[in-house]
Amino acid sequence: MKLIVIGSGGREHAIIKKLLENKEITKIYALPGNGGIAADAECVDIGAKDKDAIVKFALDNKIDFAVVAPDDPLVLGVVDALEEVGVPCFGPRANAAIIEGSKVFSKNLMKKYNIPTATYEVFEDMDAALKYLETAPIPTVVKADGLALGKGVIIAMTREEAVDAVKSMMADKVFGESGSRVVIEEFLEGPEVSVLAFTDGKVVKPMVSSMDHKRALDGDKGLNTGGMGTVAPNPYYTKEIAEECMKTIFLPTIDAMNKEGRTFKGCLYFGLMITKNGVKVIEYNCRFGDPETQVVLPLLESDLFTIMKACRDGSLAETEVKFMDGSACCVVVASKGYPQKYETGFEMTLPTVGGDTDIYVAGAKIIDGKLCNAGGRVLGAVGKAETLEKAIKVAYGVAKEVKFENAYFRSDIGKKALEAK
Ligand code: AMP
Ligand code: GLY
């Protein structure tokens, strides 16, 4: 079996390594992959959004199955294009990926089908949005409708911040057309949980829960990032809460998408907040989370390729999705200065991993035969163990052995989770 995996981050590296456990798979191409992924897959210089080139490559190379991992190609319809020429895919079609691609769509869906979420208003006109903000409860949350590289959400602690956010999105167009409509919503409080779930559009099988750490600095200080580390499972996500979510959120979402004629197949990511008034959906993503995947897949005991095929073929009900007991922790090693300015091109040395440790590379390039850092988030150092406490220690053991100039990582990944226990 020859596969392509579309994308270039740590998430894609984790997916590729897990897929390779299936011995039927003889070859994986990463489009475009990165210098670290190159150790496990053949990287091909085709961008994740280059639909025509992806389709041509899949046909020329007689690809048996494709995994489309990032949001952009999913929203752009790369799955539709590949399926049209007979290449089976893991991932939703564009008409279902809209659940992430448009916040207005997802908020309206939740309202229509009574799925718990923050109350909200949608604005297409800036003056109306500014008028609403004159009396809106503060803090409030301003969200650009479309994809915005994970930066389209502003938590406004003051009225002025909310006004600035609306102006920057709607007048200055900092996120381009993504900001031509905005959602202004109720500010919610409580612990956050990420739940990734496999679905074939009929049944939903949630994966082990996880906790992301989005801020750049210890103590959840500093700027928002793509994610500085994760742990799984998330101790706030108890069995009772999982049951509540299945009943009030997961199944109703799958049903709602079917009723709308937008059957979702693939990995649906539920960003949840456990509030005093029950669990609410903060956001949906139409894909695996990054860096959640880097702690969830190492705990998966069942075969990932079998599950992915079942999601596509509609046989997930009969397919085993089993996770091991125990915990995993991922510490993201970044280039110092991320998410703002940072330097790249420094040679890296990585420790040997295997067994209970792993490394998933996100931003690296091979320059003159040497692996060098090439991005803000460079890699995820992962450890797993029977307890969360041990998993954190193991992950930090790996992170400390990653050497390159200006390497930086948070020192408190998992601390909040340990305190919750
Ligand atoms: P996103 O960039 O869509 O992943 O969202 C960024 C973060 O904003 C989420 O992980 C939450 O921490 C926060 N957030 C989004 N919506 C709300 C809300 N209604 N109330 C409080 N925090 C929120
Ligand atoms: N870790 C959050 C995301 O993948 O969107």
Question: Tell me, what's the pLDDT at 377?
Answer: 97
Question: Tell me, what's the pLDDT at 415?
Answer: 97
Q: Is the pLDDT of residue 421 over 80?
A: no
Q: Is the pLDDT of residue 264 over 80?
A: yes
Tokens of 409: 């990582």
Contact 284, 269 (CB under 8 A): yes
Closest approach atom of ligand 1 to CA 150: 2
55 alpha carbon – ligand 1 mean position (Å):
35
- Kindly report the protein residue whose alpha carbon is nearest to atom 2 of ligand 2: 289
Mean pLDDT across 44-66: 98
- By CB atoms closer than 10 A (0-12, 13-18, 19+), residue 163 is middle
Question: Tell me, what's the pLDDT at 336?
Answer: 97
Ligand 2 neighbourhood includes 9 CB (under 6 angstroms): no
Place of tokens 């992950």: 395
- 231 phi and psi angles, rounded to 5 deg: -130, 155
Ligand 2 neighbourhood includes 227 CB (under 6 angstroms): yes
Mean pLDDT across 149-166: 91
From 110, 145, 153, mutation site for ligand 1 pocket: most ligand atoms within 8 A of C-beta? 153
Tokens of 171: 């007048």
Share of the chain above pLDDT 70, in %: 100
Ligand 2 neighbourhood includes 72 CB (under 6 angstroms): no
Tell me the ligand closest to 193's alpha carbon. 1
Reported as half-sphere exposure (CB side, CA atoms, 13 A), residue 372 has a value of 12
Place of tokens 């799955």: 79
pLDDT band at 233 (very low <50, low <70, confident <90, very high): very high
Ligand 2 neighbourhood includes 225 CB (under 6 angstroms): no
Mean pLDDT across 94-113: 97
- 273 phi and psi angles, rounded to 5 deg: -125, 130
Closest approach atom of ligand 2 to CA 11: 4
Tell me the ligand closest to 154's alpha carbon. 1
pLDDT band at 151 (very low <50, low <70, confident <90, very high): confident
Look up residue 211 and give its amino acid. M
- Kindly report the protein residue whose alpha carbon is nearest to atom 5 of ligand 2: 289
- CA–CA gap between residue 314 and residue 268 (Å, rounded): 15
- Kindly report the protein residue whose alpha carbon is nearest to atom 3 of ligand 2: 289
Question: Tell me, what's the pLDDT at 193?
Answer: 98
295 alpha carbon – ligand 1 mean position (Å):
21
> Each residue of 289-326: pLDDT tens digit?
999 999 999 999 999 999 999 999 999 999 999 999 99
Tell me the ligand closest to 288's alpha carbon. 2
- 135 phi and psi angles, rounded to 5 deg: -125, 0
As a three-state string, the secondary structure of the chain is CEEEEEECCHHHHHHHHHHCCCCCCCEEEEEECCCCHHHCCEECCCCCCCHHHHHHHHHHCCCCEEEECCHHHHHHCHHHHHHHCCCCEECCCHHHHHHHHCHHHHHHHHHHCCCCECCEEEECCHHHHHHHHCCCCCCEEEEECCCCCCCCEEEECCHHHHHHHHHHHHCCCCCHHHHCCEEEEECCCCCEEEEEEEECCCCEEECCCEEECCEEEHHHEEEECCCCEEEECCCCCCHHHHHHHHHHHHHHHHHHHHHCCCCCCEEEEEEEEEECCEEEEEEEECCCCCCCHHHHHHHECCCHHHHHHHHHHCCHHHCCCCECCCEEEEEEEEECCCCCCCCCCCECECCCCCCCEEEEECCEEEECCEEEECCCEEEEEEEEECCHHHHHHHHHHHHHCCECCCEECCCCCCHHHHHHC
- By CB atoms closer than 10 A (0-12, 13-18, 19+), residue 178 is buried
**Is pTM beyond 0.85 here?**
yes
153 alpha carbon – ligand 1 mean position (Å):
6
- CA–CA gap between residue 329 and residue 381 (Å, rounded): 8
> Each residue of 177-232: pLDDT tens digit?
888 899 999 999 999 999 999 999 999 999 999 999 999 999 999 988 989 999 99
Average model confidence (pLDDT) across the chain: 97
Question: Tell me, what's the pLDDT at 179?
Answer: 86
Tokens of 327: 């915990």
Question: Tell me, what's the pLDDT at 147?
Answer: 87
Question: Tell me, what's the pLDDT at 150?
Answer: 74
Look up residue 282 and give its amino acid. I
99 alpha carbon – ligand 1 mean position (Å):
16
Closest approach atom of ligand 1 to CA 189: 21
20 alpha carbon – ligand 1 mean position (Å):
34
